[in-house]
C-alpha cells in the first residue's frame, strides 16, 4: 500500500438508481408490506446482487420463468419487461400480478405493437438473451413475424429486406450510445428508408450516466463503476470509460477493489449503474477516505424524473384502505 497515494475521488452525478429502478424496488417493498412473504419476483427485479439479496431477506423469492410461479401467488414482474405469454401463464394460475416494467421499456413494447400493426418488419438492436429484449420481441409472437436481433454492425450483413419493404428499428434501453449510433448509421446506409422510433429508445438515465462517465474519464486516472456483472447498463459504463483510454473496473462493492489498481493513481472517478444502490457507492467513498483521499461530487446534470407506481398496486392500496374499519 506504500505506493498508493490517492489525492482525490470524484463521485459522478447522476449515478445509481434511475426512476425505473427506484419504482421497481419500491414496488416489491410495498407489495411485501401489503401481502407479507412470500412475494414472487419473475426474473431479478433489477440486475444487482445487493438489491436482490436485500429483498430476499424480506421474503421475496426470485424465479427465472413464469412457469415456476405457484398457483394463487402474489408476483411482481421485473423492471426489464415481460412477454405477453408470461402474463397469460400467471393469469391461468390465478396469481395477483403487479407489473413493475419500467415505463420507458414499456414504451418500446408499445412501439413494437404500432410498427407491426402498421405492416412494418422490425429490427431490434440489443443483446441476445437479455430479458428486456425477450419481452419486447415477445410482443411479435402473435404476428408470426421473426424479429432479427442486431448486436453489432457485422450482424446487419445477414439482413435480407428488399428496398420496397417497410422496415423500422427499435433498441434496448441500456445500450452504449456510441456503439448503437454506429449500428443505426450502418442500417441507414443499407436501408435508407428504415424508420426510427418516435424519440430515442435508449433511456435518459443510460445517456446521462454514460455522459457523466465520459466526462470523468477526461479528468481521472482510473474509473470504478459500482454494479453487478449481469447489469447491461453497468457494463456499458465500464466500456464507456475504457473507450476513453482510461483503466476502468466493474465492482459490486468496495471489497472488490484490488489495491494493485491504485498504484500510481492520483484521481479516481466513481459512478454506479442504474440498478446499483447508493449504499454501495458510499462504501467505496469510505474506502478512499480511509486512504486520506478527498471525496467530492462531480455533477454533470441534475435528474428530476420520477414515475408513478404501477396502477395495480395503487388500486390494491385503495381497496385495502377502504376496507379498513
Enzyme catalytic residues: 132
In whole angstroms, what is the distance from residue 216 CA to residue 149 CA? 32
Q: Is the dihedral of CA 241, 245, 250, 253 positive or negative?
A: negative
End-to-end distance of the chain based on CA atoms, in angstroms?
64
In whole angstroms, what is the distance from residue 269 CA to residue 191 CA? 40
Phi, psi angle pair for 97, to nearest 5°: -110, 125
In whole angstroms, what is the distance from residue 19 CA to residue 323 CA? 31
By 3-state DSSP, what share of the chain in percent is helix, strand and coil, each rounded to 5? Answer: 45, 15, 40
In whole angstroms, what is the distance from residue 317 CA to residue 34 CA? 8
Phi, psi angle pair for 116, to nearest 5°: -65, -40
For residue 25 the three cell numbers come to: 424496488
In whole angstroms, what is the distance from residue 195 CA to residue 236 CA? 25
Q: Work out the number of other CB atoms within 10 angstroms of the CB of residue 315.
A: 11
SS3 of 220, please?
coil
CA torsion, points 108, 113, 118, 121, in degrees to nearest 10? Answer: 70
In whole angstroms, what is the distance from residue 184 CA to residue 155 CA? 12
C-alpha separations of 111 from 100, 262, 273, 283 in Å: 18, 46, 26, 40
Query: Do 81 and 136 touch, CB atoms closer than 8 A?
Result: yes
In whole angstroms, what is the distance from residue 157 CA to residue 60 CA? 44
Amino acid at each position: 500500500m506504500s505506493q498508493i497515494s490517492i489525492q482525490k475521488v470524484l463521485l459522478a452525478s447522476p449515478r445509481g438508481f434511475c426512476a425505473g429502478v427506484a419504482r421497481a424496488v419500491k414496488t416489491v417493498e410495498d407489495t411485501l408490506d401489503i401481502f407479507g412473504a412470500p412475494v414472487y419476483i419473475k426474473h431479478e427485479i433489477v440486475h444487482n446482487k445487493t438489491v436482490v439479496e436485500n429483498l430476499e431477506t424480506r421474503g421475496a423469492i426470485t424465479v427465472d420463468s413464469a412457469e415456476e410461479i405457484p398457483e394463487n401467488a402474489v408476483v411482481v414482474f421485473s423492471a426489464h419487461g415481460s412477454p405477453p405469454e408470461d402474463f397469460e401463464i400467471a393469469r391461468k394460475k390465478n396469481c395477483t400480478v403487479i407489473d413493475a416494467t419500467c415505463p420507458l421499456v414499456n414504451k418500446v413494447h408499445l412501439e413494437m405493437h404500432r410498427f407491426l400493426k402498421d405492416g412494418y418488419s422490425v429490427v431490434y438492436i440489443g443483446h441476445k438473451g437479455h430479458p428486456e429484449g425477450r419481452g419486447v420481441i415477445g410482443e411479435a409472437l402473435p404476428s408470426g413475424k421473426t424479429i432479427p436481433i442486431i448486436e453489432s454492425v457485422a450482424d446487419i450483413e445477414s439482413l435480407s429486406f428488399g428496398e420496397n419493404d417497410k422496415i423500422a428499428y427499435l433498441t434496448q434501453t441500456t445500450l452504449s450510445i456510441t456503439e448503437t449510433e454506429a449500428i443505426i448509421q450502418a442500417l441507414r446506409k443499407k436501408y435508407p428508408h428504415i424508420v426510427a422510433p418516435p424519440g430515442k429508445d435508449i433511456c435518459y438515465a443510460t445517456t446521462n450516466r454514460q455522459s457523466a462517465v465520459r466526462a470523468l474519464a477526461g479528468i481521472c486516472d482510473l474509473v470504478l463503476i459500482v454494479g453487478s456483472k449481469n447489469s447491461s447498463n453497468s457494463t456499458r459504463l465500464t466500456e464507456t470509460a475504457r473507450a476513453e483510454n482510461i483503466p476502468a473496473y466493474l465492482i459490486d462493492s468496495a471489497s472488490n477493489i484490488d489495491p494493485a489498481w491504485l498504484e500510481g493513481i492520483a484521481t479516481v472517478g466513481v459512478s454506479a449503474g442504474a440498478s446499483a444502490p447508493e449504499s454501495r457507492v458510499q462504501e467505496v467513498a469510505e474506502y478512499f477516505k480511509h486512504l486520506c483521499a478527498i471525496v467530492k461530487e462531480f455533477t454533470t446534470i441534475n435528474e428530476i424524473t420520477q414515475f408513478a407506481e404501477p396502477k395495480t398496486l395503487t388500486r390494491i392500496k385503495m381497496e385495502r384502505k377502504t376496507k379498513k374499519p
